[in-house]
Amino acid sequence: MDQFQNNDLDAFWMPFTANRDFKENPRMLVSADGLYYRESEGRRILDAAAGLWCVNAGHNHPKIKKAITDQLDELDYAPNFQFGHPLAFKLANKLKQFFPGDLNHAFFTSSGSESVDTALKIALAYQRAKGQGSRTRLIGRERGYHGTGFGGISVGGIVKNRMYFGSLLAGVDHLRHTYQPEHGRFIKGQPSHGAELADDLLRLIALHDASTIAAVIVEPMAGSTGVLIPPLGYLERLREICDQHGILLIFDEVISAYGRLGYTSAAERLNVIPDLMATAKGLTNGVVPMGAVMARQHIYDTMMEQADAPIELFHGYTYSGHPLACAAALATIAAYEEEKMFDHAARQEEVFARHVHGLQDARHVADIRSWGLVAGIELHPREGAVGARGMALMKACYAHGVMVRFSGDIIALSPPLMIGEEEIISMVATIRKSLDEVE
């Protein structure tokens, strides 16, 4: 930390961070390559979280780095309001081929939070264009995380993200969450029980009437709440109910898309196609901020054909389709495809689950859930101090050379897709050792 002794750490108000705690003992990352960070004192840190669920192709990927530097020599910025540049159209066409079904149209954003708010706004605008302007209600789900915009936290269901910010958007309701530990713990893959929870949407339809509901938004796999896996048949049933009642189904795949589950998306893995899909994170491997909302053909066609002004959607961002972000995204997708990263992730799913679930007998462990290359390790909380044990375990793992994410007392693992069994074994051994040390 010598190089930081003269710096004022207080000036940076850090996001989602215990600022006072961090600044007393900083965990400073200064470089990265492949599966590893290097911290300020020279130690290598295994990245068991893919940064923030986003560095799916590993750090410092040469193809992505070259694409960005080459693009800087050609075009640094161009607006996409009434003008355009070729890479944005090239990327949109690539994503059209990349995602399943008729998710044929891409609206570019700069983050997952922006992607969610964009999807919600498109849903409302679509219903109005279709002549159903009474459909203004949005349905989220308890324990859902949909970013930090006012739209996202309104439909989201994580208490601490909502409680400080007033009444949020009006006309929002929430489905029950899908975690049912009473029906089984330590489950690999999708739980066999819980599909009937999708029928909770029928309760909200009975309460509000379908004619008032624009869209339902869910994460196929709820990540930031602590890795909640969808029960078998649950998403299929949601799709069925939405179709029956003219309600749009939005998947928030900011975490689950781009190989995390061994496929392009949860939609592809389960063959359940949403009307709108919010993505970000792995789109550019985290190198340049970017998101994309994918829309089905009928959404786009309605917006174009029923527009009441030359501009069909009064929405967008200064950095929508930024040239550097487009270059990074195209190179990232090329890396995924050429190096068969999704196939590797699919092959590693069983290996990853076997080793992670081997922690079932470890100290403090209450439950383990896994799907694809994602796992949630739930800890028994300290009495009267929810979240303290999770934070302590994160710090202990870092001290032993592994970076993990924690949400309350749940440790989330989501390593880069090309992780091998040797690194998985090392990661799990470090977590076990840290669990032994933490009170």
Tell me the three state secondary structure of residue 214: strand
pLDDT in tens, 374-384: 999 999 999 99
Neighbour-count burial for 330-349, b at 16+ CB within 10 Å, e otherwise: bbbbebbeebebbebbbebb
Tell me the three state secondary structure of residue 161: helix
- The superfamily in CATH containing domain 2-57+339-437 is Aspartate Aminotransferase, domain 1 (3.90.1150.10)
State the pLDDT at residue 5.
57
Half-sphere exposure of 377 (CA within 13 A, CB side): 31
Average pLDDT over the chain, rounded to an integer? 97
Instruction: Count how many residues are written for the chain.
Output: 439
pTM: 0.97
pLDDT at 26 over 90: yes
pLDDT at 355 over 90: yes
State the pLDDT at residue 367.
98
State the pLDDT at residue 101.
98
Q: Is the C-alpha dihedral spanning 14, 17, 19, 23 positive or negative?
A: negative
The mean pLDDT of 104-117, rounded to a whole number, is 98
- Catalogue the long-range contacts made by 4-10 (C-beta closer than 8 Å, 24 or more residues apart): 4/28, 4/40
pLDDT at 1 over 80: no
The mean pLDDT of 311-315, rounded to a whole number, is 97
pLDDT at 313 over 70: yes
pLDDT in tens, 365-422: 999 999 999 999 999 999 999 999 999 999 999 999 999 999 999 999 999 999 999 9
Let me know how many helices (H) and strands (E) the chain has, helices first: 15, 16
CATH 3.90.1150.10 range(s) for the chain read 2-57+339-437
State the pLDDT at residue 4.
54
Q: How far apart are CA 165 and CA 228, in angstroms?
A: 25
Q: How far apart are CA 47 and CA 64, in angstroms?
A: 19
Q: For domain 65-338, say whether CATH 1.10.10.10 is its number.
A: no
CATH 3.40.640.10 range(s) for the chain read 65-338
Dmax (CA) for the chain in angstroms is 64
